[in-house]
């Protein structure tokens, strides 16, 4: 065992050894990167030739390469529709994306068949499309967001203990009493795709984000602004269909781009925000410094090989790189299955125990996912999701586990179309008195308050490691364009040893961390304009009261933003 001085050092700085995950974020993009619940393809003017209709629908699905449980991308969808415009059987396409009943999106694509008559003259493109002809598409991206955020009793009023040694804390941090700030960003970019041959296309994109914050933020009262490159990537996409109807699509891309796997339990936050980049809560940056992807889809099977160098903040850059393979498929129509294997070939991040310092470099993980979500015509029915992952290490004895199970029911015919669900999640902590290291490494986990940001306020103190979380959630729709998401959380620690977590909570005396009630409201004014707000109340448990040396008053937060995007 090391000395008391070593214990104090690890307690103060253990949480700074690994990259700091992005703090609790809101869902500022209503559809982007959300799980696809269903894909519907219809023909507005079906042909009497049923075989032709079938071939066209197959062509659309193959070109979209979007399947249930895959991630929605507006840019990939528009590029796919541009490729479809070259098909002689198709005169026009249109699409609609709407919120699904279980937190994902429903994609609907409608096709108008060519009728043999002379096609109408090309209409002038409508913004954000700048140019479209014969499969070539140039499209602009313009998005802006303004957010208000307020806290009362942030950090349970003890920012002096909770932020001790935290590199994010510069100047005066929020704490006891009420504090508020404004932040926002503007993103502008260009994206294009053009054919090289009838079956091979080249595409790319580039964008810039300008962000700023003013007021009393969680970590600082300094006014900041930042302008930097966001997307900058190139890719090739192609495919073919056999005479038997088997669909093959391949896609290679590299550069600054976004990437995630599954619900984001390990891989979603490939960029960091805050500090001098500002926009801490709206979290506009997602593109990694270097993301290389090779995707291959064959019918309902998808294989992804990836290399990720995340865009970490310079002040906490751990030089981490992640490589891996991900496979997804469907089974028996209603099941989606996934398995991922990854490794960390390079990293300067560390793990701490009471007697040693261990390196992240050499981390390995194996992850299994399953989701059962029938899609009856009535929209009513149950759903079940689960994920289990195990982390080991090539250089020392490590066995950490992260897993969750969720079940729910969609009451589509009831008033407000409620969807009710319960989720249990556990991420192991390091057990004292053993040689094996068991603390779960969240890697690039996160997302938003409906995925792996567990608790709007609580997540800022206790992130996804050494944690057991119970979540009760409802989705309510008073109107088609209004969604309410109330949540109740109960949090417990998995182990009393919490080195690597918040410095004030490195050694716990209780496993009771607290509970949270929150409500998120979303209003989709139009396809391009969205309003969202939340209110959250978080109550400290015995472990936090003891760590702070006094009973903590509730932490209250409020947020409201408006987003306009094209």
pLDDT value at residue 438 = 97
What Cα–Cα distance (Å) separates residue 109 from each residue in 39, 78, 250, 440? 8, 11, 21, 41
456 with 322: CB under 8 angstroms? no
Sequential DSSP letters for 382-404: EEEEEEEEEEEESSS-B-EEEEE
**154, two tokens:** 């942030």
Query: What are the Cα distances from residue 353, in Å, to 15, 19, 471, 565?
Result: 12, 17, 30, 46
Which three-class secondary structure state does DSSP give residue 548? helix
pLDDT digits (tens, 9 = 90+) for 484-503: 999 999 999 999 999 999 98
Which run of H or of E encompasses 408? Answer: strand 400-410
pLDDT band at 391 (very low <50, low <70, confident <90, very high): very high
What crossing angle do the helices spanning 74-84 and 50-64 adopt, rounded to 10°?
A: 140
Residue 505's φ and ψ, nearest 5 degrees, are: -125, 35
pLDDT at residue 17 greater than cutoff 90: no
Coil, helix or strand at residue 195: strand
Q: Any bridge partners for residue 370, and if so which?
A: 337, 386
pLDDT tens by residue, 211-232: 999 999 999 999 999 999 999 9
- Global pTM exceeds 0.85: yes
Distance in angstroms between the alpha carbons of the first and the last residue of the chain: 58
Peptide bond into 128 cis (omega under 30): yes
pLDDT value, residue 123: 59
Residues 236/217, Cβ–Cβ less than 8 Å: no
Identify the residue with better confidence: 446 or 69.
Answer: 446
Per-residue pLDDT, 387: 97
For range 429-442, the mean pLDDT: 93
- What's the 3-state SS for 248-306? EEEEEEEEECCCCCCCCCCECCCECCCHHHCCCCCCCCCCCCEEEEEEEEECCEEEEEE
Whether residue 533 is predicted with pLDDT greater than 90 in this model: the reply is yes
Query: 23-27, 168-172, 389-393: which has the highest mean pLDDT?
Result: 389-393
Tell whether the model's pLDDT for residue 1 goes beyond 90.
no
Q: How much is the average pLDDT of 440-462?
A: 92
Instruction: Convert the pLDDT of each residue in 344-358 to its tens digit.
Output: 999 999 999 888 899
Total number of residues shown for the chain = 566
pLDDT for the residue 447: 84
Q: What pLDDT is attached to residue 3?
A: 38
pLDDT at 8 over 50: no
Tell me the average pLDDT across 410-417: 91
**Distance, CA of 560 to CA of 61 (rounded, Å):** 38
When mean pLDDT is compared across 60-64, 313-317, 385-389, the lowest value belongs to: 60-64
Predicted confidence band of residue 461 (pLDDT cuts 50, 70, 90): very high
Please give the domain boundaries of the chain with CATH numbers for all domains: 4-38+137-560 (2.40.160.100)
Q: What is the pLDDT of residues 283-302, one digit of tens each?
A: 999 999 999 999 999 988 99
Nearby residues of 228 by Cβ (< 8 Å), 6 or more positions away? 208, 209, 277, 285
Residues contacting 563, CB < 8 A, separation 6+: 28, 29, 30, 143, 144, 145, 529, 530, 531, 532
Q: What share of the chain has pLDDT > 70, as a percent?
A: 93
**Confidence bin at 441 (pLDDT 50/70/90):** very high
Token duo for residue 125: 């493109």
Rounded Cα distance between 367 and 364, Å, is 10
- pLDDT tens readout for residues 147-184: 999 999 999 999 999 998 888 888 899 999 999 999 99
- Give the C-alpha distances (Å, rounded to integers) separating 104 from 39, 349, 516, 528, 531: 12, 33, 24, 18, 18
Predicted confidence (pLDDT) at residue 453 exceeds the cutoff of 80: yes
pLDDT in tens, 320-329: 999 999 999 9
DSSP 70: S
Note the pLDDT of residue 462: 92
Q: What is the DSSP letter of 322?
A: E
Going by pLDDT thresholds of 50, 70 and 90, the confidence category of residue 11 is: very low
The residue whose two tokens read 């390091």 is: 430
Q: Which residues contact 427 (CB under 8 A, 6 or more apart)?
A: 400, 401, 402, 440, 442, 464, 465, 466, 467, 468, 494
Of 19-33, 116-130, 416-430, the one with minimum mean pLDDT is 19-33
Q: Does residue 379 register a pLDDT over 90? A: no
CA 511 – CA 496 distance, rounded (Å): 6
């Amino acid at each position: 065992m090391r000395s008391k001085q070593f214990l104090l050092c690890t307690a103060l700085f253990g949480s700074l050894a690994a990259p700091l995950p992005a703090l609790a974020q809101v869902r500022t993009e209503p559809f982007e990167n959300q799980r696809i619940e269903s894909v519907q393809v219809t023909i507005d003017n079906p042909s009497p030739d049923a075989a032709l209709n079938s071939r066209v629908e197959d062509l659309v699905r193959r070109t979209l390469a979007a399947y249930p449980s895959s991630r929605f991308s507006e840019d990939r969808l528009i590029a796919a529709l541009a490729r479809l415009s070259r098909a002689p059987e198709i005169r026009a396409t249109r699409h609609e994306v709407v919120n699904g009943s279980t937190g994902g999106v429903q994609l609907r694509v409608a096709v108008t068949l060519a009728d043999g008559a002379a096609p109408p003259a090309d209409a002038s493109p409508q913004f954000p499309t700048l140019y479209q002809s014969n499969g070539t598409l140039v499209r602009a991206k313009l998005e802006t967001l303004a957010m208000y955020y307020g806290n009362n009793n942030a950090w349970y009023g003890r920012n002096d203990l909770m932020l001790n040694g935290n590199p994010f804390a510069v100047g005066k941090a929020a704490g006891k009493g009420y504090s508020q700030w404004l932040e926002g960003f503007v993103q502008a970019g260009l994206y294009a795709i053009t054919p090289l041959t009838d079956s091979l296309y080249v595409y790319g994109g580039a964008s810039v984000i300008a962000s700023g914050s003013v007021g009393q933020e969680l970590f600082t009262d300094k006014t900041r602004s930042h302008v930097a490159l966001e997307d900058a990537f190139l890719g090739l996409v192609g495919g073919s269909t056999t005479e038997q109807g088997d669909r093959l699509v391949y896609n290679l891309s590299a550069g600054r781009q976004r990437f995630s796997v599954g619900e984001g339990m390990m891989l979603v936050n490939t960029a960091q925000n805050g500090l001098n980049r500002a926009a801490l809560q709206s979290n506009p940056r997602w593109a990694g410094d270097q993301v290389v992807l090779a995707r291959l889809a064959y019918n309902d099977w998808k294989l992804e090989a990836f290399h990720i160098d995340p865009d970490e903040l310079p002040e906490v850059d751990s030089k981490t790189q992640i490589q891996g393979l991900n496979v997804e498929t469907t089974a028996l129509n209603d099941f989606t299955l996934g398995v991922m294997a990854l490794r960390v070939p390079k990293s300067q991040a560390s793990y701490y125990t009471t007697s040693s310092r261990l390196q992240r470099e050499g981390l390995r993980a194996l992850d299994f996912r399953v989701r059962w979500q029938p899609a009856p015509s009535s929209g009513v029915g149950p759903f079940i999701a689960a994920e289990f992952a195990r982390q080991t290490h090539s250089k020392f004895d490590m066995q950490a586990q992260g897993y969750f199970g969720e079940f729910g029911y969609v009451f589509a015919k009831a008033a407000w179309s409620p969807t009710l669900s319960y989720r249990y999640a556990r991420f192991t902590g390091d057990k004292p008195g053993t040689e094996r290291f068991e603390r779960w490494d969240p890697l690039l986990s996160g997302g938003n308050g409906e995925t792996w940001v567990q608790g709007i306020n609580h997540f800022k103190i206790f992130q996804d490691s050494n944690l057991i979380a119970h979540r009760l959630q409802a989705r309510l729709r008073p109107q088609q364009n209004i969604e309410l998401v109330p949540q109740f959380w109960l949090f417990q620690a998995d182990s009393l040893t919490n080195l690597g977590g918040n410095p004030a909570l490195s050694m716990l005396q209780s496993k009771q961390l607290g509970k949270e009630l929150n409500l998120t409201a979303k209003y989709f004014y139009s396809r391009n304009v969205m309003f969202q707000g939340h209110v959250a109340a978080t109550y400290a448990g015995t472990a936090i009261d003891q760590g702070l040396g006094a009973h903590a008053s509730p932490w209250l937060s409020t947020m409201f933003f408006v987003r306009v995007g094209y």
